[in-house]
């Protein structure tokens, strides 16, 4: 296959997938992109077609579609298909198709919180004190015995919501019961990690890897809580900005040496060479940086801010990862700041309405900003909401202040009933 004719199968329907489609379509290497199933935003990207006749969970049908349409490059967006083994399935049943993403064994770094914490312990990756539990009674007793504030994490995938930050022991006991006995997150809560609550600035780093070399995008800071001032329940992420000033060049060099390189090396030595995008979430504590979590794919909404700053050809970088040639590439970033503001449906992260008609301004009128759709669908030419996090406005600027102002100006071009968004994205950096 020549490097100039990528015919991509992009799996997913969120803001991350719209952003990936937008960036990949800019590459001269990319001929076309089939997005399964896509959303109201991917439908309008050059070179892109939404494929709604195939389920993103049906791996045999995805392989059949790829072969029938001469697709030669697989990019799974979300974590669920990666954890379920989509890359392994394609390598077995369509060996001619390159796959940008980790195997199921490597995807356990996100698929199982207990697995990833034990990996960190084995490879001396700095992280919070923790214990893993599959017994509710043992976990309950542990909570009564410790004298520090905790975070409780459901072991499995819970769509970004399986992390509880209780204030008191009583709240912690209630959360534990809801996860392990009431099954609030289903089977994801069969086991839990109870770990020490860490304070400080959060930083997210997205690193492309071929299993040996790594190239990292600018450090981003996510805003997980629904409300201004970091209040209310956790969400999948209400906005980001990049690069975050707390991640100095010196700190980034330290994180590369003490965490990122050892992680990739440890995975390789564990027989699960990592190919794809590794997302590492850090807390910058007074005692030094600590790893909060790994994700095995691009973050959402970090991707929106980070890829808006990427000057390099993303398709070429992905191709180098699949070919084991990333060390021959460099990652060029525009010397700007980026901000992303997520607009969510009323009621999110609790229950919310779907199918609400919405209007979005023309991108050309958004003053250099971009709209990245997440929970949207196009029905008879009418754009409607179809998820909790509906759409995001991303803008770049010479300064962070300019990027933030432009992103919020672009939010004014989004209209639907009940919409909500945070008014303080990047407040830590701008205070």
Express each pLDDT in 12-30 by its tens digit.
999 999 999 999 999 999 9
Is residue 1 predicted with pLDDT exceeding 60? no
pTM: 0.94
Class of domain 201-429: alpha beta
Question: Which conformational region is residue 218 in: left (phi greater than 0), alpha (psi within -120 to 50 degrees), or beta?
Answer: beta
Higher pLDDT among residues 188 and 126, named by residue? 126
Q: What is the mean pLDDT of residues 326-338?
A: 97
Beta strands in 155-275 (DSSP E): 163-164, 192-196, 201-209, 214-216, 221-222, 225-227, 231-234, 239-242
- CATH of span 7-103: 3.40.50.20
386, 39 Cβ separation under 8 angstroms: yes
CA angle 32, 301, 328 (to 5 degrees): 55
Res. 365 pLDDT band, cuts 50 70 90: low
Strand, coil or helix: 190:
coil
Where does the chain hold its CATH 3.30.1490.20 domain(s)? 129-196
Q: What pLDDT does residue 402 have?
A: 96
In the chain, residues under CATH classification 3.40.50.20 are 7-103
Q: What confidence tier does 362 reach under pLDDT thresholds 50, 70, 90?
A: confident
Which among 422, 420, 413, 301 has a CA at the least distance from the CA of 352? 420
Structure confidence by residue, pLDDT tens digits, 302-324: 999 999 999 999 999 999 999 99
- Tell whether the model's pLDDT for residue 417 goes beyond 80: yes
pLDDT-derived band at 171, boundaries 50, 70, 90: confident
Please give the pLDDT value at position 4.
62
State the pLDDT at residue 2: 45
What is the predicted pLDDT for the residue at 234? Answer: 84
β-strand 214-216 against 98-99: which pairing, if any?
A: unpaired
| pLDDT tens readout for residues 57-113 | 999 999 999 999 999 999 999 999 999 999 999 999 999 999 999 999 999 999 998
Determine whether domain 129-196 maps to CATH 3.30.1490.20: yes
Residue 233 has pLDDT above 90, yes or no: no
CATH 3.30.470.20 residue ranges in the chain? 201-429
What confidence tier does 144 reach under pLDDT thresholds 50, 70, 90? confident
Average pLDDT of the residues of the chain: 94
Q: Is the pLDDT assigned to residue 147 strictly greater than 90?
A: no
């Amino acid at each position: 296959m020549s490097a100039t004719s990528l015919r991509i199968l992009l799996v997913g329907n969120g803001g991350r997938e719209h952003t990936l489609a937008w960036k990949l379509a800019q590459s001269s290497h990319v001929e076309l992109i089939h997005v399964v199933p896509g959303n109201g935003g991917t439908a309008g990207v050059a070179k892109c077609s939404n494929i709604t006749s195939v389920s993103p969970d049906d791996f045999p049908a995805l392989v059949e579609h790829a072969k029938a349409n001469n697709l030669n490059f697989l990019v799974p967006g979300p974590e669920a298909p990666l954890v379920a083994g989509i890359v392994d399935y394609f390598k077995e049943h369509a060996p001619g198709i390159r796959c940008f993403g980790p195997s199921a064994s490597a995807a356990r770094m996100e698929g199982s919180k207990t697995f990833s914490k034990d990996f960190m312990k084995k490879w001396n990756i700095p992280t919070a004190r923790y214990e893993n539990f599959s017994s509710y009674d043992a976990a309950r007793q542990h909570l009564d015995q410790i004298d520090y504030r905790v975070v409780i994490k459901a072991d499995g995938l819970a769509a970004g919501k399986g992390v509880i930050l209780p204030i008191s022991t009583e709240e912690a006991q209630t959360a534990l019961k809801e996860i392990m006995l009431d099954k609030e997150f289903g089977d994801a809560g069969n086991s839990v990690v109870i770990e020490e609550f860490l304070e400080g600035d959060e930083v997210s780093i997205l690193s492309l890897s071929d299993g040996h070399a790594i190239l990292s995008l600018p450090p981003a800071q996510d805003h997980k809580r629904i409300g201004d001032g970091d209040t209310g329940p956790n969400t999948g992420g209400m906005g980001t900005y990049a690069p975050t000033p707390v991640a100095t060049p010196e700190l980034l060099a330290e994180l590369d040496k003490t965490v990122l390189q050892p992680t990739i090396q440890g995975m390789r030595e564990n027989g699960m060479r990592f190919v794809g995008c590794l997302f590492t979430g850090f807390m910058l504590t007074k005692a030094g940086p600590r790893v909060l979590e790994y994700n095995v794919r691009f973050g959402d909404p970090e991707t929106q801010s980070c890829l808006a700053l990427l000057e390099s050809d993303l398709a070429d970088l992905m191709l180098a990862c699949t070919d084991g040639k990333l060390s021959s590439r460099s990652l060029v970033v525009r010397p700007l700041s980026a901000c992303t503001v997520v607009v969510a449906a009323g009621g999110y992260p609790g229950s919310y309405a779907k199918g609400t008609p919405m209007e979005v301004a023309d991108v050309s009128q958004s003053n250099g900003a971009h709209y990245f759709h997440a929970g949207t669908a196009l029905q008879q030419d009418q754009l409607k909401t179809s998820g909790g996090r509906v759409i995001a406005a991303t803008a770049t600027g010479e300064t962070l202040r300019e990027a933030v102002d432009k992103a919020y100006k672009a939010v004014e071009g989004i209209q639907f009933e009940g919409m909500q968004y945070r008014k303080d994205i990047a407040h830590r950096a701008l205070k």
